[in-house]
Amino acid sequence: MFLVFVLAALIWWGGQRMGMPRSTRLMLLAGLYGVVLLLHLVLPDWHPLRMATGKTPALWLMLGGAGVVVFAYRLLLVRLRGRAQAREAESAPPPKAGSFSDTELNRYARHIVLRELGGPGQKALKQAKVLVVGAGGLGAPVLQYLAAAGVGTIGVIDDDVVENANLQRQVIHRDADIGLAKVFSAEAAMSAQNPYVVVKPYNRRLTEDIAPDLIADYDLVLDGCDNFETRYLVNRICVAAKIPLISGALSQWEGQLSVFDPANGAPCYQCVFDAAPAPELAPNCAAAGVVGPLPGVVGAMMAMEAIKVITDAGAALRGDMLIHDALYGESRKIKVTRRTDCPTCGLQ
């Protein structure tokens, strides 16, 4: 029996040190428990394996029952926390359509004194509706800065839950949020930071059937997702709806971003990335790794571009791609152009 507990400890803490997701470790523990219980149910009493694992299944059945109770209790707490956070968000003061309150004026004073923004720019931010695809590495800083800047309506769509391995870089989530849907964790953090913005969480995957109607409700889309299928989908819908798309990507020590806006002469995403690379050439963060602050750097740049697009301040990255190399502290811009043979925007 002692050996079973040692093996369970190795799975849990050893897997954690190896970067194994919490859900995978729980599945392995459940598998180990199932094997041990099955041995007790099918093997005779005198069998050495039964003798070595506690002789009787009664103890294992009790442990399994206790585990089910703990799991159900934790699930109940997560759901109650999500409902409480949703009620808190609903009770927050709604944003005013016209004038700013004294609190808002004081909050956004550093924006208002900027010649390029001023009161009209801050009003444009307040009236803007922005959709963020993904509440992970890039989505976390994007959402935080858009909420802090006073963007009036912020939608966020993601079907993932917060895991321990996310917290090294996804700073909008906390340790207490592990197991909670990322969109609800992000919503709670944004509403706590700025109760004068409306946050609309969509706890589901962005798919072909919902993307057109969802994106049509927004003025601007920021894409920080981690798969090419969704990137191409978002690009197609944004091009069709003539909605600007700010897209960012990360790998290890390097990040990149651009404003894809064919309606204003810039290329679309597929003009630059004609086809998705082979999986081994573009591994995700779990396989390739990513340095913790890099999503914050690139995500903050994406939020900066969003503010510029909304307020028409300065020169947004339309027709330019910014590449940041964190390992050597270098940033560079390259020109990107529309392709007449682009299957998404070439005929527009």
CA distances to 13, 27, 38, 239 from 24, rounded to whole Å, are 12, 5, 21, 38
Does the pLDDT at position 288 exceed 70?
yes
Instruction: Check pLDDT > 80 for residue 229.
Output: yes
In this structure, the number of other CB atoms found within 10 A of the CB of residue 82 comes to 19
The pLDDT confidence band at residue 51, using thresholds 50, 70 and 90, is low
More confident residue, 296 or 55: 296
22-26, 72-76, 242-246: least confident range: 22-26
pLDDT higher than threshold 70 for residue 347: no
Confidence of residue 10 (pLDDT cuts 50, 70, 90): confident
Give me the torsion for CA of 110, 116, 118, 121, rounded to 10°.
-110
Alpha carbons 17 and 217: distance in angstroms, whole number: 43
- Average pLDDT of span 62-76: 74
Residue 285 has pLDDT above 60, yes or no: yes
The answer on pLDDT for 85 being more than 70 is: no
Q: Quick one: residue 329, left, alpha or beta (phi over 0 = left, psi -120 to 50 = alpha)?
A: left
Mean pLDDT across the chain, nearest whole number? 85
Tokens 């307040």: give the residue. Answer: 126
From 268, 274, 276, select the one nearest 338 (Cα to Cα): 268
Q: Are 224 and 299 in contact (CB under 8 A)?
A: yes
Specify whether domain 101-335 bears CATH 3.40.50.720: yes
pLDDT the model gives residue 67? 72
Return d(Cα 203, Cα 210) in angstroms, integer. Answer: 13
Q: In angstroms, rounded to a whole number, what is the distance separating the alpha carbons of residues 177 and 184?
A: 9
* Three-state DSSP state, 331: strand
Q: What is the pLDDT of residue 87?
A: 65
The pLDDT of residue 226 = 84
Q: Comparing C-alpha atoms, which of 214, 210, 187, 188 is closest to residue 200?
A: 187
Share of the chain above pLDDT 70, in %: 77
Q: Can you give the pLDDT at residue 96?
A: 47
* Helix 118-127, helix 294-311: angle, nearest 10: 110
Return contacts of 73-76, CB within 8 angstroms, 24+ apart. 74/179
**Predicted confidence (pLDDT) at residue 273 exceeds the cutoff of 70:** yes
pTM for the model stands at: 0.72
C-alpha–C-alpha distance, residues 319 and 338, integer Å: 8
Nearest Cα neighbor of 132 from 145, 122, 142 is 142
For residue 240, count CB atoms less than 10 angstroms from its CB and return exposed for 0-12, middle for 13-18, buried for 19 or more: middle
Rounded CA gap, 34 and 38, in Å? 6
Selected residue with higher pLDDT from 335 and 92: 335
pLDDT of 74 > 60? The answer is yes
pLDDT tens profile 180-215: 999 999 999 999 999 999 999 999 999 999 999 999
For the four alpha carbons of 6, 11, 16 and 22, in that order, the dihedral sign comes to negative
Q: Which of 138, 87, 150, 148 is nearest to 294 (CA)?
A: 138
pLDDT digits (tens, 9 = 90+) for 128-145: 999 999 999 999 999 999
Better-scored residue on pLDDT, 252 or 40: 252
Q: Which residues are marked as active site? A: 285
Residue 43: pLDDT over 70: no
In angstroms, the Cα distances linking 58 to 26, 34, 36, 158 are 22, 14, 12, 42
Cα–Cα distance for residue pair 148/170, rounded to 1 Å? 17
Q: Where are the domains of the chain?
A: 2-76, 101-335
| pLDDT of 95 strictly over 50 | no
Assign 24 a pLDDT band (cuts: 50, 70, 90): confident
Mean pLDDT of 45-62: 65
Query: Which one, of 227, 224, 223, 206, lies nearest residue 282 by Cα?
Result: 227
Higher pLDDT, 285 or 149: 149
CB 246 within 8 Å of CB 268 = no
